[in-house]
Amino acid sequence: MPTDSATCFQSHDKRFSAIIGPTPTLELLAEHQAYPFAHEAGVFFPDTNNLYITSNRCIGPNNEQKVYITQVDLNKRPVTYEEVPTDIPMANGGINYGQSDIIFCSQGSMDQPSGLYRMSTRSYESELLKSDFFGRQFNSVNDVVVHTDGSVWFTDPIYGFEQGYRPRPCLPNQVYRWCPKTGNIRVMADGFGRPNGISLSPDEKVAYITDTDRVHGDGTIDDQRVSSIYSFDISEYGGEKFLTNRRLFAMADQGIPDGIKCDLEGNVYSGCGDGINVWSPGGVLLGRVLIEGGVANFCFGRNGEIFALNEHRLWRVQLGATVKGALLRL
């Protein structure tokens, strides 16, 4: 169901025209009223034309808090989707890992640790890869990105404790880098209220991290708390990577900047309270894709496609065909 593009794309800078192209569209792909099935992750596999998404918190069959993973088949119209059978506790962000696997952020539970899980999209089998910082359990691992050197970077806020399904935190709100090859785990950045989304520039020289401290896990909102994106240079000292030169990149004026991605031109996209906001590499707000109810997360498809997660609704945004996401470069 396409919508009127004239009301869905709001420009703040003439450069936005080159991003959206001459005929941008917004199309509703699926709607699921039973529970908010389209909240986080957004992991696209071009070989199968499938999309994997995670729900918002729901109440499970035993009155426990639960998150569902859904596989969306984009080969048909209308699209079809089905729940993925998995035991990953409270899955949240996700990223492509190899040809057919996903690394999911598991927020954990009272009796299961938070951490990084690897799940096969062929068998749905999963394994816990990393759950602690030298014995201290992570809080509620939220979002993840994989560097081309094989290292895995992820955020770890305390939302699970605030929302009642994780024990009291034993680590600060921090960002980590884990190297599967060596097992090395390092804290890369601290000083956040609630670190959330994470992305790398296409040349991997800059890391973008969102701080969603404006909204705490108990639902309280304080407009004086941060709802911003910070950028860091990825530098090297002593043969190791560091995040340096922390700077305020942009502030979301509507809601909070949650999921974050870059295109191959270095433009920065983030899911916010009014939809998807787009900034230039220099932090200038170029424009917005307006979606009522906002967007928590999203991912790029092919040639300017974006799949936007809008809680009970899944949308397809079509930008200009020359736009390509930095992750899959399609």
Mean predicted confidence (pLDDT) in 29-34:
97
In a domain, 46, yes or no: yes
Q: Determine the Cα–Cα distance for residues 47 and 130; give it in Å rounded to an integer.
A: 28
In a domain, 254, yes or no: yes
In a domain, 326, yes or no: no
What's the CATH code of the domain at 231? 2.120.10.30
In a domain, 17, yes or no: no
* Per-residue confidence (pLDDT) for residue 307, from 0 to 100: 98
Mean predicted confidence (pLDDT) in 216-228:
95
Q: Determine the Cα–Cα distance for residues 40 and 138; give it in Å rounded to an integer.
A: 19
Where in the sequence is the domain holding 150, given as residue range(s)? Answer: 31-263
* Per-residue confidence (pLDDT) for residue 6, from 0 to 100: 63
In a domain, 313, yes or no: no
Averaged pLDDT of the chain: 96
Q: Which residues pair with 290 in a beta bridge?
A: 275
In a domain, 159, yes or no: yes
pLDDT band for position 228 (50/70/90)? very high
pLDDT band for position 322 (50/70/90)? very high
Task: Domain count for the chain, please give it.
Answer: 1
pLDDT tens sequence across 156-210: 999 999 999 999 999 999 999 999 999 999 999 999 999 999 999 999 999 999 9
Closest to 26 in 3D by CA, of 11, 6, 44: 6
pLDDT tens sequence across 52-86: 999 999 998 888 999 999 999 999 899 999 999 99
Please work out, in degrees rounded to the nearest 5, the angle formed at the alpha carbon of residue 249 by the alpha carbons of 146 and 210.
50
Q: Determine the Cα–Cα distance for residues 114 and 158; give it in Å rounded to an integer.
A: 11
In a domain, 190, yes or no: yes
Neighbours of 5 (CB within 10 A): 15
Q: Is the pLDDT of residue 264 over 70?
A: yes
In a domain, 289, yes or no: no
